A = this chain, B = another copy of it.
Amino acid sequence: MSAKQIVLAARPKGLPDASTFRFENVEVKSPAEGEVRIKGLYYSVDPYMRGRMSDAKSYAAPFEVDQPIVGGIVAEVLESKAPGIAVGDLVTGRVPWATEVTVPATELSRIDPSIAPPSHFLGILGMPGLTAYFGLMDIGKPKAGETVLVSGAAGAVGTVVGQLAKQAGCRVVGIAGSDEKTELLKHEFGFDEAINYKTTPDITAAIAAACPDGVDVYFDNVGGEISDAAIMNLNFHSRIALCGQIAHYNATEVPMGPRLFPRLLTRKVLLKGFIVSDYIDRVQEGFAALAKGVKEGKLKYRETVVEGFDKLPEAFLSLFSGENKGKMIVKA
């Protein structure tokens, strides 16, 4: 059997482009003992993958040049030599970007499509949802009556953060990059206010107006000038859940900006950088909370779906121009 796969053609300098990726035809080997052969149904593209394209030391090992990109997938089992996994099962995991691939079953988890549509397991019931849950609950620790500010609010993580913060009884303000997104935040996801940073002349003042009691929790998905403005509005003893810095992922030089430590000190701020895998021991707790919200209709979910395996590079690149509303997914 042959399949198409996508490899890292070259490490990008700055913004990746089509030349970052290369399509290849490969033979798909038959599964050995403990392995399964799967066919991709949905592929996840996520901003953190930009980090793995560089060779800088980070929490995840870099992708290797000429080796497949590895990402989140929902797949159907075509052939199984692993106990407990049957042909036709739906599974999720992080595997090479390929139309078909044979991998150890230990890399995969079965998903239960009675809980939610399969693609949800790449979003609200997967890495982004768990990221939102643990970052907000464990670092942000929102209390009823507090104000939670979310940057990248219309993305896969931000939409979940905002809804969880509302459930916690907080005033919730989101920052996003278009009026369409800010409308969505207010009218579909229940944010109290939303700020379009692209059309707001003074983001610091806009946050101050939207957060009249200041900001108690800042959930940061973006970094840069938006975070500078957020930090000017932090209350004493506020918390920053440092989740993403997409503003800087394509930087070719060390980005410069105002020094924030003096403000973090005088406001006695707690900041924590985190990765969802830090909470591997608590995945069941997070999944259960998110699944309950989804099943009861209390957590809304939105995807931007691009059709076609060949569109994976394009879909990934569009994350950096903010074209997704909610989770960006590629459907095979």
Contact = CB atoms under 8 A, between A and B. Distances in A.
A227 B261 contact: yes
Interface residues of A, number: 38
A265 B264 CA distance: 16
Contact of A256 (B236, B258, B264, B270): B258
Contacts of A245: 261-262, 265
A58 interface: yes
Looking at A223, A227, A242, A261, the one whose CB has the most chain B CB atoms below 10 A away is: A261
A268 B275 contact: yes
A244 interface: yes
Contacts of A278: 268
Nearest to A271: B271
A270 B272 contact: yes
Contacts of A220: 261
Contacts of A269: 271-273
Given A271-B271, A272-B271, A51 B258 contact: no
A265 B266 CA distance: 21
A267 interface: yes
Nearest to A268: B273
Interface in A96-137: none
Nearest to A253: B258
